[in-house]
Structure 1
């Protein structure tokens, strides 16, 4: 895979011998490490219900911090969710509601009843990102891994990151094995020196695994920046396709699979294991640097697990007990594992059941004292700070409802919007104005549509959804004049 690598000036890499932690003037500047998995489902971690996957490092992080049981991505696919994380805004407000390569003017076809709206694929430079706020506050800022938020003119270094390692317009590697390059990357990007170039005389480099390589860079940054406040955005490609686990892990999980298990895909399990192993390496680097007590760690996923056939597998992930998966507004497409460890704030082993969404990360991080003093206007967002529940998970958040808007087709769904208010969730499908109503505390798998049973409630939630869409200037699909009914 191609990479952008912006070299760190030598003077920035100098670390005084024996110096650990932050200087006295930086006492209010907590370090932040934001770890984002790609396509990891809500029940893919052992601590969230997987009966095959082993994730001891993430489970240990949950025991050290707070585990969220009702955390959501703002969209069921990658680019929109990532935009919401960076800006704190609903993807629909940004008009970024599909993945980068699918944005712009939709291609005409005869099989879809509706035509998606024209969308934006590049995160606008006018938007304030939390990286820009960190940079303004005197932090060292680095992005490592997947970006997928725009072309070269909108790469991480244009959005507040001093260093960008691996962040390009592309959403997935053609392979997780070095040199990570595919046809679409040829002649477009420079590669990280000494990591991905494989010579005839050095075949060992061909065994490098992308998840490990990205962690190598993240660990290096943590070591070299432990004496200065830093914000590290570590966004893995794992567990996105191609499904390529390390052979010894594939063999281990293949032997572990038993009939009747929820999770059966041992190659996918091997990728989850590598993700967990590398998260463990990051946590160890933080501990070894002596900065455990002033480093916030966030772990999240950008959308639900991918379901459906892939090569010889009937499905990649199994999001059960949730319905459906990536691309869908059912719970399997948007509910995510979320773990936050905030020294001095979160209680070890705590759990929060309040519904939260990826828009909330921005205002939550703005609670760091040093960031409040910046001159950048960081009040324009659609999230709420999670600080109240981080301190006390029993406290209610000052928000009545969560909303989603996905006016596009995907393999798992047709254009739709959704709202969750309390335990009730309504989905509106645009093709025929079909409404579905679910009581999530009684029906987590969304099997029983109660829209006809409680029509007044369904219409009330639908009115709130329509008002929200109008307020944020959401875009809508339109009738496809080329549509030809048929067995597609």
Structure 2
């Protein structure tokens, strides 16, 4: 009897010890990461940022209520490929002349700057950094960072690639509805399947199958990029809602280069098809977040939500409004570069918290690297946001933009710098500058350069110093006309 009791005691102690080691291992496990990037989604396109939003985004809003929402989050460029470069690398795309979407070479009064239409193979991606740490890595959706397979996600650190290739939109097959005819999206989908839902399902499957090891799941929606196509049920819902919207839908905007028609900007959200696309994307995000919960991973997964630039409001159907932010995609005004940023980091962020710290796409890489205990030994431009996620202030720093191109959406070639409440915009055709106080004039309507000459000079000098640091290129001569250069 005594021997039996001793053996039982030893067994109990061993079991308790094993459970304690298991609990310790679980608590020390590195966090998972779910990064969600929506294409073309404007800052004002989600309810969390816009109480009067025309679109229903309950899952995104729920993410904001359970994490931290940033009011002053930016993309590093007003179009897609450069911002995607910076999200992947933590570096300004200007360093590699990746300054426009990777086929954009429009000429107008002058020729644009030289464009490198691929993310160079020697750039280190966040997927490569985490893969070397033992993470499983997954990519779904839009890539648009190189012209051929060696530049695709499966060759840039991702174990799995579902749908990422050289195109910037779902332009093959039935576009947003199966059959997709996407060369990197296999197996085939049943006819009529909706692309956002398919990408979410692939992401959810990856999460379910990799819940026993740390992972990076990078869900990069093709939505809400053109072509404008929505599910019939949601289009009907928003057509009914749009019938109640009153007021002038469009207003005049600056004419940078000539088109057949006067370019106007949408100032009211009431586009039913675009609204359907936004809500379908929100539903797809909900599916992935539900899988995190079902897999028991919510408390050990950092979720990051953002967009690659501002909403489309001046061309190609002009489906959304970014008001009160000026303009949108393709412009270096706030409407083109200020984007949604939400981060939920369990144990670090407080639910429903709001930060006014300025940040941009470069900051994703160093933040994830710090959370995953990955040492960054190469040059990057972003900063670790974990102090801000903890409710503290970041060290003051300027943010920069460089867009030496004529955008499809009507934006002018230019650069910008933000320091504190001030933002300076510089035009590359003639060198004119405009200074705005974003605290008092978020719509960038009042140029205060003449009454703040010292501030404008300081910021312009700093912007020009940055141009040299990143080897910025500028507009080129055309038809014997020479553009301004710094």
TM > 0.5 fold call: yes
- Cα 1:82–1:191 change in 2 (3 A) is closer
Task: Kindly indicate whether residue 191 of structure 2 is the aligned counterpart of residue 206 of structure 1.
Answer: yes
Q: 1:337-376 alignment to 2 at 5 Å? A: 337-372=340-375
Which one has the largest radius of gyration? 2
Q: 1:394-433 alignment to 2 at 5 Å? A: 395-410=392-407, 411-433=409-431
Write the distance in 2 (CA, Å) between the matches of 1:349 and 1:378.
Answer: 34
Paired residues of 2:164 and 2:184 also in contact (CA < 8 A): no
SS at match of 2:161: strand
Write the distance in 2 (CA, Å) between the matches of 1:480 and 1:55.
Answer: 46
Partner residue, 1:389: 388
SS at match of 2:48: helix
Write the distance in 2 (CA, Å) between the matches of 1:309 and 1:359.
Answer: 27
- Alignment RMSD, CA only? 1.9
SS at match of 2:343: strand
Task: Kindly indicate whether residue 245 of structure 2 is the aligned counterpart of residue 259 of structure 1.
Answer: yes
Paired residues of 2:40 and 2:308 also in contact (CA < 8 A): yes
SS at match of 2:460: helix
SS at match of 2:191: helix
- Cα 1:353–1:208 change in 2 (3 A) is same
Write the distance in 1 (CA, Å) between the matches of 2:277 and 2:301.
Answer: 27
Write the distance in 1 (CA, Å) between the matches of 2:185 and 2:289.
Answer: 27
Normalising by structure 1, we get a TM-score of 0.86
SS at match of 1:214: helix
Task: Kindly indicate whether residue 49 of structure 2 is the aligned counterpart of residue 48 of structure 1.
Answer: yes
Paired residues of 1:26 and 1:229 also in contact (CA < 8 A): no
- Cα 1:370–1:433 change in 2 (3 A) is closer
Residue 176 of structure 1, CA deviation: 0.4
SS at match of 1:148: coil
SS at match of 2:200: helix
Write the distance in 1 (CA, Å) between the matches of 2:412 and 2:310.
Answer: 16
Paired residues of 2:424 and 2:436 also in contact (CA < 8 A): yes
Task: Kindly indicate whether residue 479 of structure 2 is the aligned counterpart of residue 481 of structure 1.
Answer: yes
Task: Kindly indicate whether residue 178 of structure 2 is the aligned counterpart of residue 178 of structure 1.
Answer: yes
| 1:245-266 CA-partner distances (Å, limit 9, x unpaired) | 1111011111112233731111
Residue 124 of structure 1, CA deviation: 1.0
- Cα 1:368–1:190 change in 2 (3 A) is closer
Partner residue, 1:198: none
Residue 178 of structure 1, CA deviation: 1.0
- Cα 1:220–1:256 change in 2 (3 A) is same
Write the distance in 2 (CA, Å) between the matches of 1:55 and 1:401.
Answer: 32
SS at match of 2:323: coil
Partner residue, 1:8: none
Normalising by structure 2, we get a TM-score of 0.86
Q: 1:42-441 alignment to 2 at 5 Å? A: 42-49=43-50, 50-102=52-104, 106=105, 112-151=108-147, 152-174=149-171, 175-181=175-181, 189=183, 191-195=185-189, 205-257=190-242, 258-260=244-246, 262-310=268-316, 313=317, 315-372=318-375, 377-392=376-391, 395-410=392-407, 411-441=409-439
Paired residues of 2:436 and 2:446 also in contact (CA < 8 A): yes
Residue 308 of structure 1, CA deviation: 2.5
Listed as ranges, the gaps of 5+ residues in structure 2 are: 1-21, 248-267
Paired residues of 2:78 and 2:336 also in contact (CA < 8 A): yes
- Cα 1:71–1:22 change in 2 (3 A) is farther
Write the distance in 1 (CA, Å) between the matches of 2:196 and 2:299.
Answer: 26
Paired residues of 1:125 and 1:158 also in contact (CA < 8 A): no
* Alignment size in residue pairs: 434
SS at match of 1:426: strand
